[in-house]
Every structure is written in structure tokens, then in C-alpha cells.
Amino acid sequence: MATKESTTVKEGAQTREHRSQFEQFWREFRKNRLSIVGAVIIGLTLFAAIFAPFIAPHDPATQFDAPEGEHNPLPPGSTLFVEGESNEQITAYLGTDNHGRDLLSRMIFGLRTLMIISIGVNAVAMSVGIALGAIAGYLGNSWVDETIMRAMDIILSFPSLILAIAIIGILGAGTTDYGWISVPNLAKIIFVIGFAYIPRFARVMRSAVLKEMEEDYVDAAKSLGASDTHILTRDVLVNTIPIVVVQATLYMATAVLASAGLSFLGLGLQPPTASLGLMLSNARSFVYSGQWWYPVFPGLALMIIILGFNLLGDGLRDALDPRYSQEGSNDQ
Amino acid sequence: MSTARFILKRLMLIVPVLFGVSVAVFGLLHIAPGGPAAVLLGPLQNEQIIQEVRSQLGLDKPFYVQYWLWASSAIVGDLGTSWTVQQGTPVVDLIKSRLLLTFELALLAQLLAVLIGIPAGIIGAVRQNKPADHLSRIGALSGISIPNFWLGIVLIMVFGVTFNFDWGTGGWISPFEDPVANLQHLILPVIALGTARAAIIQRMTRSEMLETMNQDYIRTARAMGISEREVILKDATKNALIPVVTVIGIGIGGLLNGAVLTETVFNLPGLGKLFITAIARRDFEVIRALVLFITCVFVFANLSVDVLYAYLNPKIREDGGN
């Protein structure tokens, strides 16, 4: 009975504290105008990714014919005629690609695949990394801790993109079919990039948990008879949320870069999927013939998204918890 | 803990890491559906041919025997022979012939990054929240956000196409043939590869400088009437730059990652390009050897940085870095 009451009191206090913590965070976050810019960029990107079919002016896969005497890719603002009886006209605001597909529409759909991959990569790296890091930290300096962290050291010894390229290179691009299981390309990309980033979350998590374990409330919970799992999941992990949020936001930038890079090398998404990296890879051959819009717009979009995540991540780090702050986590 | 003991401990940690890395690289080959032999043969295969190739490549032996044969020859510098990139050529020779380019590219990019990143970081810190700082921070933010392969394409568009410089479209000329043309052709790739590193170094330098300049001994130095210029350049910089060394070291991984993309964009026949060619031609022997080689370079670069850091930073020497 006594234990139950004390938990309720503690939780009540925590809620109050959390509310004021949130207010404090918001005050800090708002102060930095660049963080707001980052939040707006990411908000718009997610919005465009989710509602792509409603926002994109045209179908991303339709190949429009160039008017007579002209060739795709057509420059921004070109008017195209839709074949058929309707005589409908469309405008390609950012021009078309070499197959006559609307560049803007493909970019918006490209945001969708990019966000799915980047969020997926973070989800994989985060869930596995947090679990491993939390266990290692909680059982600090035991053989379990040693084994987990040495395994992480080994993954970290590989330059991350080289590791991802090698794994996909050996599996082959596209769907991988083992006979008993067939791994779709998208899932494969997510797992391969995510795998390379597991140690980064595990390390951060381990040190955060080690630090938390020294706090008085852990001893208090232990003496009240709380189980290890309870302490770890209810108390310790809750307190490490800020650091994980900051890391995840900054790694979103890295994940965007890595997935676009893989597609650029032909090892990520495969045609005809709309992908910014793939568009850049195709656009390379049009650089010399003066079709500047083809490589410029998809690359610019990539840069703005990455900038958005970096600004947001920096802002969150400054506002949430400067204790564990780290510079230069972006490892392009 | 003395520096010597720290270095010894760090050296001993390398052994299990290298062992783990070699096992992982060895295992990489076997994650392909059907195993390496099926991949090597492609669509033209039947059970009998696969078995023949398997025994030729030694793939029918137990894993630990295969690993031992591979690892024991790798350690003495025999990384096998290429399957499809240049059939029959020892992989070591392939690596040797491309090493110079990647080494030169990475070294120059690192140099550019340090030469831009450190001064920009110091200026940012000294002129905190003034126009120069804002400019330097915006530059750094753009730098870490710009994908290096896209920057490469844009540079080619501007210098190679618009201004029509003959060195502006990539390609490689050996420094032994024509050192000037060699450097000219590397200008754009080095900018493409070095920009992100410069930005990361700028950010680290700036934040370390800001922290150092708030410390007591700097205030004391100022109070003693030592000129601001001398305080910044002699005292603050010396201490602030110690952690920057680590970032420069970690950056070697980023450089190796970036080299693959940069070499692809600029058509440079370096290790990164070899890697991509080997993947396109499914040459597992070359892929495996390259991953092992690049990773070992990365591991030893990190080791040297840690040792240098321990040497520079007296705190580590005292408490063993804990």
C-alpha cells in the first residue's frame, strides 16, 4: 500500500515538473529564430511528403511529349500538351526530366520516399541502439556491457557509408530474394543504413543511462523494491528522452544524406521510383548540354531538407539539454 | 595513468577490433542469396558448375578453415585475385595503382578543411554574435548541409561548362606526369569533398574557443594586460584546438565515405571508383579486400589521433581519459 501511494505522489510531482520543463524548453527554443526556420522547413517537408498526391501538380510517372521541335528535358515554365481529345495544357513549373516527367511532381513524391527511408533508418538505429545501450549502461562494467560495446566498436570501425555500400553491393540492388524470405528494396535500404548507425545511439544511451544510474532516485526506487525493468523503462529511459530526440533529429540529416548518396550511386532506390538521389544521378549526363534545372532543383531540395534537420537539431540541443551536447555528429 | 600506459592500452584494444572487423568482412561475402559462387556465375549456372566453382574457390571447406586461409594471407598482404574487374590481377596491385589518387584527394581535402575551418571558427568565437560570426556560422551550416556529390555537380556546371575550364570536368593526371595539371584537376574534387569537413571543424573550433575564452586563466591573462590578440592566438587557441584534433581524426571516416561519391562525380580512378566498379561487376574478392583495407586505414587513423590527443591533453595523461 505504502509503495503505491508513494508512486502516485511521485508521478504527480513529475507531471508538474514536466509541464514546467516543457514551458522552459519552449521559451529556450523560441529564442533562436534559426531553430524555428528549421522546424518550419521540416514541417513543410513532412506535410508535402504525406500529402504528395494532393500537392503534386501532375502525376509523377506520366511522360509528357515535348512540343514539336523541342526535346525533353524542358526548361522551367514550359507548356506541355496532354495528348488526346481534351487538348489540355499543363505547365511544368520546374521543367521536366529526360523522360518528359514533371520535375516538381517527382521531387514531391521523392520527398515521400526520402522521409520514409530516413524515418525508418532512425527507427531501426534508435530502437536497437537504445535497447543495447540501455542494457549495457544498466549492467555497467559487466561482461554483457563489455560484449555489447565491443560489438559496437567493431561496427563503428567501418566508415558508415562504405559499410552500407558494401552490404548492398554484395546483396545486389533491388529486391533480395533468399528463397524463404524476400526482402523488398525499401526495407533493405532502411535496415542496411540503420544498422550502420546503431552504435551511435547505443553509445549515447549507455553514457546517459550510466549517468542517470548515479542519481538518488534510482537508489530510492530500488529500496522501495522496484524491479530492474521497472526502473529502467519507467524512470531511467524517460529521463533520457531529450538526448535521444536531439540525436535522432541530427541523424535524420545524416540519414537523408546517406540514402540520397546510395541512390545516387545506383545502390538505393531503383527506377522508376521517384527519388531525389536517383534524379541527381540521371541529371549528371545533362550537365554538359546546359539543362541546369535538372540537377539543380533536386539537389537544392536535398540541401534545404538537410539544413532544416540540422537547424532543428541544433535548436533542440540548445533548448533541451546542453549537458550531453556533442558537436559535429553529421558525418558526411 | 601515464601517457605510455594509455597508449599501450589503446594499442591492445586494436587487436580484438581488427579481429572482429576481419570476421565481419569475411562474413559479408556469405550474406548474398545463394552464396558467392552463385553470384559469381550469374544466370549461367547449374548445380554441378556451382559445386566446381565452390571447390575451386575453397568455399566447400568449413567456415573457420576458409577464414583462416583468407585472414592468414591477408595479414601478409595477399588479398586474393580479382574475379571480374581485372581478372587474375592481384587485388593488392589494383589497390596500389589507385591509392595515390585517393590519398592525395583526401589529404588535400583535409588540408583545405583545416585551413578554412579553424580560422573561421576562431573568428566566429572572437566576434561572437557580430556580422563576421553570423557569416561564418551560416557558411558552416550550409557546408554541413550540402551533399558533396551535388556540390560536385554544381562545380562542374559552373567551372567546367559555363566557364569552360578544361580542368573543370573531372579526370585525373598523375602528378609524376604533370604536377600542375594534377593539382588543377583536383581543385574541384577537393572543394566538393572538403567543404563539409571545413564546416564541421568550424563548428567545433568555434564552440571550443567560446568555452576556453570564458575560463579563468584567460581572464587572468587579460587582467595582466596581455594584448587581446596575444591572448587569443597564444593561450586560447592552444587549448581550444586540442579537442578539434579529435574531430579532424574522426573526419577521416567522413573523407573515405565522401571519396566514393566524389570520385564517382568527377570520374577519378581512385579507390572509391574501384569500389563502385567492383560492386557493379560483382567482384566479391575486390569488394572484400577494399572494405578490409579502407577499414584498417580508418582504424589506424583513429588510433593515431587518440595517441596524439593523449599526448596533447594533459588531463588524459592524469586520469586515463575516464
What's chain B look like in SS3?
CCHHHHHHHHHHHHHHHHHHHHHHHHHHHHHCCCHHHHHHHCCCCCHHHHHHHHHHCCCCCCHHHHHHHHHHHHHCCCCCECCCCCCCCEHHHHHHHHHHHHHHHHHHHHHHHHHHHHHHHHHHHHCCCCHHHHHHHHHHHHHHHCCHHHHHHHHHHHHHHHCCCCCCCCCCCCCCCCHHHHHHHHHHHHHHHHHHHHHHHHHHHHHHHHHHHCCHHHHHHHHCCCCHHHHHHHHHHHHHHHHHHHHHHHHHHHHHHHHHHHHHHCCCCCHHHHHHHHHHCCCHHHHHHHHHHHHHHHHHHHHHHHHHHHHHCHHHHHHCCC
Q: Does B169 map to a domain?
A: yes
Handedness of CA B200, B203, B206, B210 (dihedral sign): negative
Taking 80 as the threshold, does the pLDDT of residue A12 lie above it?
Answer: no
Q: Which of B75, B109, B133 is the last residue of a domain?
A: B75
| CA B210/CA B212 separation, integer angstroms | 6
- pLDDT-wise least confident of B176-190, B191-205, B215-229, B285-299: B215-229
In a domain, A76, yes or no: no
Q: What integer pLDDT is reported at residue B254 of this predicted model?
A: 86
Neighbours of B207 (CB within 10 A): 19
Structural domain tally of chain A?
A: 1
Distances (CA, A) of B12 to A136, A146, B18, B246: 22, 15, 10, 20
- Same domain for B66 and B149, yes or no, is no
Is the same domain home to B220 and B287? yes
Task: Please check the confidence at residue A240 and state whether its pLDDT lies above 70.
Answer: yes
CATH classification at residue B186? 1.10.3720.10
d(CA A275, CA A278): 5
Q: What's the pLDDT tens digit per position in B77-93?
A: 888 888 888 888 899 99
Residue B82 in domain: no
Portion 9-68 of B in contact with A at CB < 8 A: 13, 16-17, 20-21, 24, 28-29, 31-33, 39
* Residue B155 near residue B214 (C-beta atoms within 8 A): no
CA distance A265 to chain B (A): 7
Q: Is the pLDDT of residue B107 over 90?
A: yes
> Does residue B298 carry a pLDDT above 80?
yes
pLDDT at A16: 55
Question: How sure is the predictor about A182, in pLDDT bands with cuts at 50, 70 and 90?
Answer: confident
One domain, residues B14 and B150: no
Span B213-221, average pLDDT: 80
Structural domain includes residue B193: yes
CA-closest candidate to residue A160, choices B254, B56, B77: B254
| B178 has pLDDT over 70 | yes
B52 and B153 share a domain?
no
Residues B35 and B179 in one domain: no
pLDDT per residue as tens digits for the range A103-141: 999 999 999 999 999 999 999 999 999 999 999 998 888
A146 lies in some domain: yes
B255 and B294 housed in the same domain: yes
Residue A19 forms part of a structural domain: no
* Interface subset of A 255-274, CB within 8 angstroms of B: 257, 260-261, 264-267
In a domain? residue A183: yes
HSE (side-chain half, CA atoms, 13 Å) at B179: 1
Query: Could you tell me if A263 and A278 are in contact, meaning their C-beta atoms sit under 8 angstroms apart?
Result: yes
Cell of A158: 567501418
Decide if B84 is inside a domain.
no
The verdict on residue B81 lying in a domain is no
**pLDDT-based confidence at residue B111 (cuts at 50, 70, 90):** very high
Q: What is each CA distance from B314 to A326, B118, B237, B247, in whole angstroms?
A: 21, 22, 16, 18
Q: What is the mean pLDDT of residues A289-307?
A: 93
End position of a domain, from candidates B46, B75, B104: B75
Same domain for B253 and B171, yes or no, is yes
How many other CB atoms are there within 10 angstroms of residue A214's CB atom? 8
Option in B161, B279, B291 nearest A288 (CB):
B161
**Same domain for B251 and B185:** yes
Domain shared by B53 and B195, yes or no: no
3-state SS class at A183: strand
Q: Are residues B230 and B153 in the same domain?
A: yes
A79 in a structural domain: no
Of the residues B291, B294, B303, the best mutation for testing chain A's interface (the one with the most A CB atoms within 10 Å of its CB) is B291
Number of domains in chain B: 2
B192 & B240 share domain: yes
Indicate whether A2 pLDDT > 60.
no
Which tops the pLDDT comparison, B41 or B237?
B237
Question: Out of A151, A159, A287, whose CB is closest to B161?
Answer: A287
Cell of A219: 537508489
pLDDT number for residue A18: 59
Establish if A184 belongs to a structural domain. yes
Lowest model confidence (mean pLDDT) among A57-61, A288-292, B34-38, B208-212: B34-38
Judging contacts by C-beta atoms under 8 Å, the chain B residues touching residue A330 are 144, 196, 200
Share of chain B above pLDDT 90, in %: 42
Enter the pTM of the model: 0.88
pLDDT of residue A6 exceeding 80: no
Domain that holds residue A250: 111-331
- The CA-based angle B239-B242-B246, given to 5 degrees, is 160
B227 touches chain A (CB under 8 A): no
Please indicate whether, in this complex, the C-beta atoms of A261 and B17 are within 8 angstroms of each other. no
Closest approach of A161 to chain B, Cα-based (Å): 5
- Residue A328 predicted with pLDDT over 50: no
Q: Which of B39, B145, B203 sits opposite A327 (nearest CB)?
A: B203
The CA distance from A293 to B280, in Å, is 29
Instruction: Kindly state whether A32 is in contact with chain B, defined as any CB-CB distance less than 8 angstroms.
Output: no
CB of A166 within 8 Å of a chain B CB? The answer is yes
CA angle A152, A156, A162 (to 5 degrees): 135
Residues A138-164 have a mean pLDDT of: 91
CB interface of A with B, residues 288-317, below 8 Å:
288, 290, 292, 295-296, 299, 302-304, 306-307, 310-311
Domain of residue B101: give its range: 91-318
* Contacts with A120 (C-beta within 8 Å, 6 or more apart), sequence order: A186, A187, A190, A194
The answer to whether A225 contacts chain B (CB < 8 Å) is: no
Give pairs for B181-188: CB < 8 Å, separation 24+.
Answer: B182/B104, B186/B104, B186/B105, B186/B108, B188/B152, B188/B155, B188/B156, B188/B159, B188/B160, B188/B266
Nearest-CA distance from A304 to chain B in Å? 7
Q: What confidence category does residue B314 fall into, taking pLDDT thresholds of 50, 70 and 90?
A: low
Mean pLDDT, rounded, for A312-332: 63
Average pLDDT score over residue span B27-41:
79
CATH for A130? 1.10.3720.10
Q: A315: which residues sit within 8 A by CB, 6+ positions away?
A: A29, A32, A34, A35, A36, A38, A39
Q: Is B161 on the interface with A (CB under 8 A)?
A: yes
Read off the pLDDT band of A330 (50, 70, 90): very low
* A167 → chain B, closest CA residue: B28
> Residue A13: its pLDDT value, please?
53
Residue B61 pLDDT > 90, yes or no?
Answer: no
Give the residue among B129, B117, B119 at the shortest CA–CA distance from A34. B129
